[in-house]
Amino acid sequence: MSLLREQMNVVIVGHVDHGKSTLVGRLLADTGSLPEGKLEAVKANCLRNAKPFEYAFLLDALKDEQSQGITIDTARCFFKSKKRDYIIIDAPGHIEFLKNMISGAARAEAAVLVIDAKEGIRENSKRHGYMMSFLGIKNFMVCVNKMDMVDYSQEVFENIKSEYSAFLEEINIKPKSFIPIAAREGDNIISISPQMPWYQEAFLMEALDNFSKAAPNYARPLRFPIQDIYKFTAEGDERRIMAGRIESGTVSVGEEVVFFPSYKTSRIETIEGFNVEKATEAYAGQSTGVTFQTQIYIRPGEIMCKKGEQGPHVTTKFKANIFWMSKEPLIKGKDYKLKITTQQVPVELVNIISVLDASELSSIGNKSQVDRHDVAECILETLKPVAFDDINHIAETGRFVIVDNYEIAGGGIILSPVFEQESILSQYVKSRDFNWVRSDITPLKRALKYQHKSALIVIIGDPDTGKKEIAKALEASIFGLGKFTYFLGISNELSLTEASSNDRTLNKMQHIQQLGNMSHILTDAGLVFITSISDIDEYELGMLKSLNQPNKTIVVNVGENRFPIDQIDLVLSQKENTQTAVTKIIDVLRKAIALDPEYFI
């Protein structure tokens, strides 16, 4: 039955012109997987254009590909064996299209690497082999193609086999088979070839069927990255559903769960779905959704794990292997965006440990940047903590991409977390304060003169809760009391200086940094500085407070409070009218910053 048949994604890789597309074309033709008339049509087209027919034309569908005779981008083709259905991903071999090869290979569960018997092992034979080990593809075989061009010589085959095996051993790949083939002639493709009686092991099709699918991730700890949070109240649906795909483990109704990096906890109430029987358990591979017994506020990006199971690492620094695909090099001190599971955070390259030439496995000494097609071991640091696993523990939560200027510029796998005392932020604050030349007017002198202490008053809450109106009215009231105050009404989306990036994730962090620095100056000058901000999380609020240190920060939350109560100085209901809200804030300020003369400064 077709419904129960398994499906496997196989990528075909190797150096340019070693016959990958020919192999796939032949495989499709010989297994009867081509649409009726396709073979005849391509042959007729060749005849019309007076060029010899090639099986590769069945695959190289783009006009440029046919005219240049090379594969530019990966193609998906479908074929069946007796055992299972295959999606074959025909990847380009030219170095120029390495990113396309990697896009194809990253989807694959198995790889066939093709080497031309006559040309032997070439640069991309090795590079692609290395990338398969990087991508963690365990099902791997090598086909030595064009055996007809070397008179089906066993010696040629054995030489390539021993040389390439030695290379694979260095990168820790054990091929499941090494097969001599002639794709154009159909030798050892879907049956054993009489041309090479010295080879009696599996032919290509048989070797593909011998690959086994990786065991599912059920047995490992739960990793459920939250992709999004839905509440379709407008359509009369009161469920608050956290949706995502389970990357490993299982989770059941009633179980207690912990979120990383926030460490918040809750308990599963239901597992949701549409047009399915109500489930009590969800497991790795499923895109599902859950509701909770107690309401918690987290953002998309957190990883839900099970209490009692081993959790992921949570740090801002880690060691990783990166391959770089962008023409612009990866450099230190620049803000990039890291995407790992469903988390997106600003990231910087801190240190390059080594850079490897993947075609030679030799390291390139002392590089200060990572160039296109380099593979590098690096230390990266994020501006906020991220949750992840080592690649060898749970691969799905141990790999990431780096985005530069709208584009995925590099991919990487995490080798280990790096635990360090000082974050980028605390180092920054330290060096800022160290370089700050202070005058003889101390904060106390200023406070005595102004008759109040300084503070940053930040009003937080959901968009459209009237925060800005409260902030403005507050400024007017404090000003009316004869105090020194300033309200900065700047939208979340805007930066105080010209944005250095066009990325939302990076801009948001930049905005908070700028706001923190500005309030540090204004509160240092003795002012009561007021601002409002939407959509800020606990960590970002902490950042703002750190940047404003040693000066005081007072946090007012309008509407539903999503923060631990010890982080908030005052919670206001959204229904409160502006004047009552201001009165309540002033009440807090009387003591906190000695707004009232009866309190000592």
Partner 1 sequence: MNKVMSKLDVLESQSIYILREAYREFKSLAMLWSIGKDSTVLLWLARKAFFSHVPLPLVHIDTSYKIPEMIEYRDRLAREWRLNMVFGQNKDALTAKRTFPEGAIDRLQCCKLLKSEALKHTLAGDWPRYRLNHRTGEYEVDQNKEPYTGVIVGVRADEEGSRSKERYFSPRDRNNDWDVGDQPPELWNQFKTDFALGTHLRIHPLLDWTELNIWEYIERENIPITKLYFDQGNGKRYRSLGCYPCTFPVESTAKNVHDIVEELRTGKFANIAERSGRAQDKEDGGGLETLRRTGYM
Burial of 333 (0-12, 13-18, 19+ CB in 10 A): exposed
Span interacting with partner 1, options 11-19, 94-102, 197-205, 513-521, rule CB under 8 A: 94-102
Structure tokens at 295: 């309401």
DSSP-assigned letters across all residues of 467-516: HHHHHHHHHHHHHHTT--EEEE---TT--SS--S---HHHHHHHHHHHHH
Number of chain positions touching partner 1 (CB under 8 A) = 71
Strand-pairing partners, residue 22, are: none
Which one among 15, 18, 26, 99 touches partner 1, defined by CB under 8 A? 99
Please give the helix or strand (H or E) that residue 272 lies within, else none.
strand 265-272
Q: Which is nearer to partner 1, 106 or 205 (CB)?
A: 106
Q: Which is nearer to partner 1, 193 or 501 (CB)?
A: 501
Each residue 330-349 as x (binds partner 1 by CB under 8 A) or -, in order, gives -------x-x----------
Cα–Cα distance between 326 and 409 in angstroms, integer? 5
Q: Is 494 exposed, middle or buried (0-12, 13-18, 19+ CB in 10 A)?
A: exposed
Q: Which of 204, 241, 268, 512 binds partner 1 (CB under 8 A)?
A: 241
Of the candidates 85, 169, 493, 535, which one interacts with partner 1 according to CB under 8 A? 85
Nearer to partner 1, 105 or 473 (CB): 105
Residue 28: closest CA among 82, 86, 73, 103: 86
Q: Helix, strand, or coil here: 400? A: strand
Sketch the per residue contact string, 180 through 219, with partner 1: x for CB under 8 A, - otherwise: ------------------------------------x-x-
Rounded to whole angstroms, the Cα distance separating 161 from 164 reads: 5
C-alpha 409/C-alpha 403 separation (Å) is 5
Stretch that binds partner 1, among 1-9, 488-496, 547-555, 556-564 (CB under 8 A): 1-9
Residues 112-171 that bind partner 1 (CB under 8 A): none
Q: What residues numbered 540-569 form the site for partner 1, per CB under 8 A?
A: none
Both structure tokens of 575: 């229904």
Can you say how many angstroms the Cα of residue 199 is from the centroid of all Cα atoms in its chain?
44
- The least CB distance from residue 1 to partner 1, in Å, is 9
Q: How far is the CB of 9 from partner 1 (least distance, A)?
A: 8
Nearest-approach distance from CB 148 to partner 1, in angstroms: 28
Q: Which of 150, 325, 582, 595 binds partner 1 (CB under 8 A)?
A: 325
Per-residue binding letters, 389-428, with partner 1 (x by CB under 8 A): -------x--xxx-x--xxx--x-----------------
Site for partner 1 in 268-307 (CB under 8 A): 272-275, 281, 283, 285-287, 289, 300
The pair of three-digit structure tokens given for residue 535, joined into one six-digit string: 């959509």
Are 209 and 82 spatial neighbours (Cβ–Cβ below 8 Å)? yes
Q: Is 576 helix (H, G, I), strand (E, B) or coil?
A: coil
- Binders of partner 1 among residues 29 to 58 (CB under 8 A) are 32, 34-38, 45
Q: Contacting partner 1 (CB under 8 A), which of 10, 11, 27, 77?
A: 77
